[in-house]
Structure 1
Amino acid sequence: MEQKLAKELLDRYLEGRCSPKEANLVESWYLRETENPQTLQSEPDYEGLGKSMWKDIQRENNQTRKVTPYYKWAAIAAFAIIGLGLYHFANTPTAAPVQSAAIFYKHDIAPGKNKAFLTLADGSRIALDDANNGKIADQAGVTISKTADGQLLYQVSDSAKPTQAGFNTVETPKGGQYQVNLPDGTKVWLNAGSSLRYPAQFALNKRRVELKGEAYFEVAKRTIKGSGPAKRLPFIVKTNSQEVEVLGTHFNINSYQEEGDTRTTLLEGSVAVHSLSTAPNGLSIANQILKPGEQSTLRGESIKVATVDTEQVMAWKEGFFMFDDENLQSIMHKVARWYDVDVDFKDNSLKTKSFSGTVSRFSNVSQLLKKIELTGSVHFKIEERRIVVMR
């Protein structure tokens, strides 16, 4: 039975039909086992490598879920197939990139982690990754705490007044990410190189925050008190080019300045997207209402809407890089932010080359670069905190 399941997975892998997580698991362990070029000089010991891979799979997956025999046998079998194919690749005249990998990646770079800075209303700045768990600040009846799993939590007392609490800002540097639980119960996940400015206590008739970079929001549903029939309290996210208004929903906004476009992706509920560019009458010149599974792209003064793969959009939050026919310049923007590196293209024509694939965000940068190099169309060299992209 297990052999049958393994064969079915292999068939899916070779036909390109297995899930991104299955493919990433198999390929990541192959790359780990072959970091030493000498492992490619003779035919691999599939049984020994399979056992080693199984131990690694158990160690990683025990942190998140119980591993079934299906994963064990399928991963080992797929590992053997990949190993055989790359063994032949490594023993041909085109094998130089594989043989020189130890040289190109001797200055490997670790992935990002939970890291952020909190700036309070009085201007004081707190490094959240260095702060102890528990209460870290009090301001005008609002208690700010850091939880054991690294989240920022706001608790508002009955005596707190919105006009006195002031504004706070959470910033993630390159190589950092962080989760913030806002005073109203809204949860926000900030990607690397991002910032969120918000009041320590929201006003009674409106919730408004300002975003730079990328964040995923799960907005808590709230009603306006004393408004007669129950009326939802709006939640507004402002970026440098647009406003997104919601009542209670799940969505992602990507507004990195270097990307040019601002992308809003809806996973649940409904949102209205408004361009900040206005007509002579003061009204926004571009507006769109999104449905779940849709993404708006604001470029210049126009907003276009398309249906997208939300799993790919949210891969960063789930701990993956996921690319689907994405150009190398865009990929390296993500690499630069998450690994806190500079990127140097020796050939600008490489920026438009497209790649597809999935890899863990919590692997060293060499794991991602090696996967892209397997296409044979591009190579990389790590020089301290600089990645050189070349043919």
Structure 2
Amino acid sequence: MAKQVDTVRLQELANKWLTGTLSKEEQQEFEHWFNEVSDAPIDVPSFHAQSEDEHKQRLYTRILSRIDGEAPKRKITRWLPYAAAIVLAGIAVTWSFLAPTPNDEWVTLDVQDVRPGGNKATLTLADGRTISLSEAQSGIVVGDNGITYQNQPEEIVNLKAGVVNPLALSTPRGGTYQLTLSDGTVVWLNAASTLTYPSRFIGDERIVELEGEGYFEVAKSTVPFKVKTLGQEVEVLGTAFNISAYSSQPETKTTLVEGRVKVTLLNPDSDRDAGSSRILAPGQQATKSGSVLALHTVDTDSYTAWKNGYFNFDGLTPAAAFTQLERWYDIEVVYQGKVPTMRFFGVFKRGKPLSSVLAMLKESGLDFKITQQGGKRKLLVINE
């Protein structure tokens, strides 16, 4: 486990590293700290970056996110061989990742600061009744005879044995929830999402429908598991993957973490195979844009960090990053000046108030103001 460290000393070493004034002994001290306190190594494969400078920026950002020992962990290559080559000048992130966020004087709060989202969801039953699920719980389980919370035996809903009931789990903006289906498949729903599913699976297919974003860990079976979204179907036998299929976004993205999936375009009129499909291997993403289905190699952490309680903005445009903030903090983003086009690099906890995330994003040169108009909180992004 990571041990307690002197962050003041680390800041001192980092600043010297930034200016290229580390002595040989200090360089060894800094490297020793990382290898001792890091529970997992860090690397960013070079094919994920457009240039050597961007590669160094991504690697540096990952190092910063690991300082408090709480960032998501993964099986990757140690960063130490890269240490001598890392240039820290001109990077749009700073050591503010290390310490608690100071008073954000540059963020004008005309209203109370916006708190992060949490466990919020609504369960819709076959007869149309809805149940607001407990915010003190994080998920529900569909059993043979009823639905319960994950760690409570009492039934929320009684299900008649032998009867297949259509059900739906919906999260609002600022909400997330977990669902264990009757076959043991586990689904994490991101904010503003809906999963429609049966109370139990019968026949030669296991079919659910998704609008929004969900992470799936599919229970292995000889019966195919299919996830249908608007104009697309994902078929698996047992695997872990993420689907982002918001109706407000022009693209549907299916990202494979492990296993194997087949992504097929559907005819929007008949909901049948439109003849275009792709087989994904781990680390690949299928992007559906209109009637085009493209395959890419990606860093899966960027697309699954939300499930583990993080925003991963590595390489994202501000517009893409702010779309995530809109859903999680239930705000509306408006721009003063030109819509910014630079790239963000950083990993942030989703459990922090909005002002804390903005304090870090300010390092990109943007400024922000939170206001409330007509009962709706708005984030003004100032780029002048």
TM-score, normalised by the number of residues in structure 1: 0.69
> What does the per-residue CA deviation read over 1:147-200, in whole Å, with 9 as the maximum and x for residues that have no partner?
2399x99998xx832xx2310100010000011000010000000010000000
Q: 2:21 is matched with which residue?
A: none
Q: Which has the higher helix share?
A: 1
Q: Which has the higher contact order (CA 8 A, sep 6+)?
A: 2
Structure 1 unaligned spans of 5+: 27-56, 65-80, 87-97, 223-231
- Largest Rg, 1 or 2: 1
Taking every aligned residue pair, what percent have the same amino acid on both sides?
Answer: 37
The answer for the alignment partner of 1:387 in structure 2 is 379
Match of 2:234 among 208, 229, 244: 244
Q: Deviations over 1:109-131 (max 9, x none)?
A: 11111111101112221111258
State the AA in 2 paired with 1:291. A
| Contact 2:141-2:179 at 8 Å conserved across structures | no
AA of the residue aligned to 2:351 = F
Distance 1:244 1:131 in 2: 32
Residue 273 of structure 1 and its aligned partner are, at CA, apart by: 0.6
Cα distance, 1:135 vs structure 2? 9.6
Q: How far, CA to CA, are the matches of 1:233 and 1:249 in structure 2? A: 13
1:276-323 alpha-carbon deviations (Å, 9 max, x no partner): 13799x741321111111000001111110110011111111111111
Q: Cα gap change, 1:24/1:128 in structure 2, threshold over 3 Å: closer, same or farther?
A: same
Relative to 1, partners in 2 of residues 1:99 and 1:184: Cα closer, same or farther, differing over 3 Å? closer
CA distance in 2, matches of 1:143, 1:233: 23
* Residue identity matched to 2:361: I
TM superposition shift of 1:390:
1.2
**RMSD, matched Cα:** 3.8
SS in structure 2 at match of 1:257? coil
Shift of 1:258: 2.0
Please give the residue correspondences for 1:33-112 in structure 2 after superposition, counting only pairs within 5 Å.
82=95, 100-101=105-106, 103-104=108-109, 107-112=112-117
Displacement of 1:350 in angstroms is: 1.9
Q: Residues 226-276 of structure 1: CA distance to partner in whole angstroms, max 9, x if unpaired?
A: xxxxxx101110001200011111111000122210000111111111111
- Aligned partner of 1:342 among 332, 353, 369: 332
The alignment status of 1:218 with 2:217, answered yes or no, reads yes
Distance of 1:299 and 1:134 partners within structure 2 = 32
**Aligned to 2:151, which of 134, 148, 153?**
148
Equivalent position of 1:273 in the other structure: 263
* 1:22 Cα deviation from its structure 2 partner: 4.9
Q: Name the residue aligned to 1:356.
A: 345
Secondary structure of the residue that 1:286 maps to in structure 2?
A: strand
Q: Which residue of 1 aligns with 2:30?
A: 7
Rounded to whole Å, the distance in 1 between the matches of 2:355 and 2:138 is: 33
Q: Is the 8 A contact 2:367 2:381 kept in 1?
A: yes
Q: Distance in 2 between matches of 1:112 and 1:21?
A: 24
1:10 Cα deviation from its structure 2 partner: 8.2
Following TM superposition, the consecutive aligned residue runs of length 4 or more in structure 1 with deviations greater than 6 angstroms are 2-5, 131-138, 152-156
Number of equivalenced pairs? 309
Which structure 2 residue ranges, 5 or more long, are not aligned?
6-25, 36-41, 43-55, 74-93
Question: What is the CA–CA distance in structure 2 between the aligned matches of 1:6 and 1:292, rounded to whole Å?
Answer: 37
